[in-house]
Amino acid sequence: MQKLFDEVNSLDKRCYEEFSLSEDILMEHAANGMCEYIQDNFEDKKSVLIVCGSGNNGADGIALARLLYSKYNVSLYLASKPKSDMAKLQYKRAKALGVKETNEVFEADIIVDSLFGTGLNKELKDDAIKLIDTLNEFESFKISCDIPSGVNNTGHVSTTAFYADLTLTMGALKTFLYTDNAKDYLGKVKVINLGVQRDVYEVNTTKFLLQKKDIRLPHRKQKNSHKGTYGHLNVFAGCKKGAGIIAAKAAFGFGTGLVSVVCHESLDLPYHIMQTHFLTKNCTAIAIGMGLGKYETAEVREILRNDIPKIIDADLFYDEIVIESFEKDVVLTPHPKEFVSLLKICNIADITIDELQADRFFYVEKFCKKYPKVVLLLKGANVIIAQDEYIYVNRYGSAVLSKGGSGDVLAGLVASLLAQNYTPLDAAISASLAHTLAAANYKKNNYSLIPSDLVEEVRKL
């Protein structure tokens, strides 16, 4: 996993004070990192249009123009005159070298966006919106310097933003790059070193970006074992019984030794999945909430109060009874609408879904501060997994998963790992990665996935 930071100004300042690196040196390394990427990936003499603003993000772009000069056909477009001291200095250097300026943007082989950077904290003006929209129409390979222009310093897009194929971000990864609102604009993300290696530049943090290698699959290393060695999961099926059955199938395919569906009505289940009317004595984990609908409160309350590790999903996020489980080993897996309800039930916030999506990390932190024992998995384009003060982001989510039943598969995967004695946090992380990576491996049209396809792809990981 990689470290995430809410801001990097303090990290830059540390470079100035502890390592005697100047702002100029850091900027030269930023520009050189972008230059190296272009040189490594594009042939000489390609046309490069660098679109610059008036601040230090624009200064990065101007410095890049100087470094690419003569090897590439570079054109510098200044959206506004340089205003920051570094922008003025870099412009003076570029002019002395003879870097070409243009009064109009055009479809170059490569377009570099150096308009606003991470300092954007206000609404875009009409001329900036028009400029960004024009750049987005071009078929060029598009690179953003630090962050796509139009994405602000909370990761929110209010009007429009630059659609980058690649974002070259400076020094370290920023948390706000991984909001749901920013996801469509980033393209791939690569970190540029600023005069020192990342492990020197970065400090301790409580936020992390998950990588594929962080998944811990439930491979069986113990030779002397039996089905009970790998747990017995109880999945509660409600009025929408299909949800519970999907979760049970996913759990069995992810390594649980025994899976029983708890339901008072007769079910048509696969032969390898059992049915019971009550919680089994050897149960090692519980999955409840998926398709639950109307339920007997006393029975559910008894389940939520017991000490067996459990995952809670869906319908229970609309009932304050869910709070009774928060002192136990529990994973919650709400989607945004359900999390908004949960925040209200818990007297944390009364907000809309749009308000949540505009500041997901803030509300996750508020929830986890009040309930530090709970593992929260907030679904979305970027999945947020959190416990206490620690936050982990799974960026591998995709539109492939935007189908009914995908969440039930996730519930089954988390429950499976809980049954196999994973900690709630480890279960949430590995199950979420398995869920998203399986979807990424799906080879058919991205609109066509059904839950059984997803379970099959998980089995292939």
- Residue 57 labelled as part of a binding site: yes
- Residue 291 labelled as part of a binding site: yes
- Residue 32 labelled as part of a binding site: no
- Residue 41 labelled as part of a binding site: no
**Residues 6+ away with beta carbon under 8 Å from 440:** 396, 398, 400
- Residue 121 labelled as part of a binding site: yes
* 387 CB-side CA count, 13 A: 18
- Residue 306 labelled as part of a binding site: no
Tokens 């990427």 belong to: 37
- Residue 255 labelled as part of a binding site: no
- Residue 56 labelled as part of a binding site: yes
The helix (H) or strand (E) run that includes residue 87 is: helix 85-97
- Residue 182 labelled as part of a binding site: no
| Contact in structure between 82 and 20 (CB atoms under 8 Å) | no
- Residue 113 labelled as part of a binding site: yes
Distance CA 148, CA 359 (A): 18
| Contact in structure between 161 and 150 (CB atoms under 8 Å) | yes
Nearest to 337 by CA among 359, 364, 361, 356: 356
Distance CA 453, CA 295 (A): 30
Tokens 């569906």 belong to: 261
- CA angle at 29 for the pair 26 and 32, rounded to the nearest 5°: 150
Distance CA 193, CA 36 (A): 12
- Residue 118 labelled as part of a binding site: yes
Distance CA 433, CA 394 (A): 7
Distance CA 283, CA 274 (A): 13
- Residue 119 labelled as part of a binding site: yes
**Residues 6+ away with beta carbon under 8 Å from 270:** 249
- Residue 315 labelled as part of a binding site: no
Distance CA 175, CA 86 (A): 26
| Contact in structure between 169 and 7 (CB atoms under 8 Å) | no
**DSSP one-letter string for 29-84:** HHHHHHHHHHHHHS-TT-EEEEEE-SSHHHHHHHHHHHHHBTTBEEEEEESS---S
- Residue 335 labelled as part of a binding site: yes
Tokens 């079910």 belong to: 267
| Binding-site residues from annotation | 56-60, 113, 117-123, 146, 149, 243, 291, 335, 407-408
| Binding-site residues from annotation for (6S)-NADPHX | 56-60, 117-123, 146, 243, 291, 335, 408
| Binding-site residues from annotation for K(+) | 57, 113, 149
| Binding-site residues from annotation for AMP | 407
